[in-house]
Amino acid sequence: MAAIQHLVSTWEIAKIGYLVSTWLFPVLIAITLHEAAHGYVAWQLGDPTAKLQGRVTFNPLKHIDPVGTLLLPGLLILIRAPFLFGFAKPVPINFMKLRNPRRDMVWVAMAGPGINFVLALVSAFLVHLAVLAPSFVESWVVQNLVNSILINLVLAVFNLIPLPPLDGGRVAVGLLPHPWSSLLARTERYGLLVLIGLIFIVPLIAGGIGIEFNLFVWLVGVPVETLFNLIAVVAGLR
């Protein structure tokens, strides 16, 4: 009996290890290029802050937030949560150093989600090349690429929510007429707290009284599913 329990335990650990390994590389690549893209575009548009602090780099260690990049997504994966959520260290941007702060803020903000959309599409096409991998790792490579499509779409769509300090909020501030843009910009210090409350706390309270309220699924899950299916068709996977 002890031997059987040990075997089962080892098998469970192996399954968890495999699951984590199929998400680790896609997550690291997605957040690294997302943050580096912000810094690179800001640098090209006149603000060298990120470049001077070593954040315009493909080194993931420069962008990792231990809690937001590793602990939180890892826990959500292990408990098989219906959604994946995380964050990296924000790239420092001094918008006043940009050549045209109001206009260039939009380009800097769009750079992160933009590169994630590109990575999702590239990952989908690379699935066709997975057959070139050795047979014993082919399924692992395919799973990494599928997860890459998913995590990049989640990052892109989530960050485009028009609420500062998310990228979508910065885009909205740059595009809205002055009175509205100033009002939205003033919400930045509270924006993340509001978002966490709506995504995590309100659903728990609503569920406790028998009401289904999942803002993350509505704002992110549904668009991601639609885009995932569209990319699969475009890449010839369906």
Is the dihedral angle over the CA atoms 75, 160, 43, 193 positive or is it negative? Answer: negative
225 a catalytic residue: no
Q: How far apart are the C-alpha atoms of 87 and 76, rounded to whole Å?
A: 13
Catalytic-labelled residue, pool 35, 138, 212, 225 = 35
* Distance from chain centroid for Cα 89: 12
* Distance from chain centroid for Cα 37: 13
Would you name the residues annotated as active-site residues?
35
